[in-house]
Amino acid sequence: MRTIDWATGTAGLDAGGPDTAGVAGFDAAGWIELVDQTALPGELRILRIGTVAELVAAIRSLAVRGAPALGVAGAFGVALAARQFAGDPAGLAAAVHEIETARPTAVNLARGARRAAALLPAGAHAVLREAYAVRDEEIASSEAMAVRGADLVSDLCGTRPRLLTHCNTGGLCTVTVGTALGVVGELHRRGALAGVIASETRPLLQGARLTAWELARWGVDFRVAVDSAGPFLMARGEVDAVILGADRICANGDVINKIGTYAHALGARRAGLPFLVVAPESTVDPDTPDGAAVDIEDRGAAEVTTLSDAVNPAFDVTPHDLVTAIVTDRRVIRLDRGERP
């Protein structure tokens, strides 16, 4: 991961390991540093974000993406805003709102920004401290989920399962380790994983570009499949469990995640496979009763095709009755046994 020494402002980049950061931190000069996920896998490029407008653009373009990374970026964004709009309360309030609403679906973004914004009356340093707390909690959550999730996968699937995952849920979308992909990494380290199928994740290929890049760095045996192949591969007996992340988990257990998740859940149910969602508690939203209440981002036609009109919802809703278990940093919620978040 990219590490920042807050005292000196120096940064170091560790080129190896499973922990490349989606968001590294806030350096002494007041920049947010993050991996530009639009440039991968071709280039490992670090973006230095110096203004709220740059951060909002990075969020909208998916240079920084994935629910936990968005929460951390939102919190650091408010720290940035506190400096940029010092002495301009109206400008500051507008900037915080811009950050919170840069993307609508992952609850973490608004949550991270609001947590940091609550400290604004205490001054810019207090806001920055809170942003670091948000980041550090995400790191701890990732580590806890990896262990808890790996234990559950081994319990449910026995030794060396073959897992199917969707979108990207590794260190890129958190700060280190990841959510569902963190579980994959932990199983790999334990020698308890046969291999992974990464669905490519149309239209922006978070699976084919980002998950494949992370799995290759970790030395995990993997293959990329087109999204629509998932249910067929499950039916053909090539998958032992589906494991993926979430952008929001509703009070009733409905799971909002990257478009294509619902189809994988249906395929898993049909094939009788566990369907596991790994997400931090910061993604569980008791204020959203169910999937119907969520603003599903529509990213417009251009990402799908420039040749004709298109519909491009970025997320979908997986009904809770298709989910076996939700693994968070504190709990295993067995939806299949009637438990709820």
Tell me how far the alpha carbon of residue 18 is from its chain's centroid: 15
Q: Which is nearer to ligand MRU, 120 or 274 (CB)?
A: 274
Nearest alpha-carbon partner for 290 in 252, 243, 259 = 252
Active site residue 285: no
Q: Which is nearer to ligand MRU, 257 or 328 (CB)?
A: 257
Q: Which is nearer to ligand MRU, 324 or 328 (CB)?
A: 328
Concatenate the DSSP letters of all residues of 46-61 into one string.
EEEE-SHHHHHHHHHH
Region near ligand MRU per CB under 6 A, out of 26-34, 48-56, 63-71, 76-84: 63-71
Q: How far is the CB of 144 from ligand MRU (least distance, A)?
A: 14
Q: Please select the residue that binds ligand MRU; options are 4, 184, 246, 250, rule is CB under 6 A.
A: 246
List binders of ligand MRU among 188-227 (CB under 6 A). Answer: 206
Q: Which is nearer to ligand MRU, 82 or 148 (CB)?
A: 148
Q: How far apart are CA 113 and CA 65, in angstroms?
A: 15
Q: How far apart are CA 41 and CA 64, in angstroms?
A: 14
Residue 68 sits in the site that holds ligand MRU (CB under 6 A): yes
Residue of 19, 227, 240, 247 with catalytic role: 247
Q: How far is CA 97 from CA 16, 113, 248, in A?
A: 37, 9, 20
Helix (H) or strand (E) holding 9: none
Query: Which residues make Cβ contacts (< 8 Å) with residue 145, sequence separation at least 6?
Result: 177, 179, 182, 183, 278, 279, 280, 327, 328, 329
Residue type, 229: A
Over the range 41-76, which residues count as b (16 or more CB within 10 Å of their CB) and which as e?
A: eeeeeebebebbebbbebbeebbbbbbbbbbbbbbb
Residue 169 sits in the site that holds ligand MRU (CB under 6 A): yes
Position closest to ligand MRU via CB: 245
Judged by CB under 6 A, how many residues of this single chain contact ligand MRU? 18
Residue 314 sits in the site that holds ligand MRU (CB under 6 A): yes
Q: Which is nearer to ligand MRU, 128 or 244 (CB)?
A: 244
The answer to whether the peptide bond before residue 203 is cis (omega within 30 degrees of 0) is yes
Q: Please select the residue that binds ligand MRU; options are 141, 257, 282, 318, rule is CB under 6 A.
A: 257
Residue 106 sits in the site that holds ligand MRU (CB under 6 A): yes
Annotated catalytic residues are 247
Interface residues with ligand MRU (CB under 6 A) are: 62, 65-68, 106, 167, 169, 173, 179, 206, 244-247, 257-258, 314
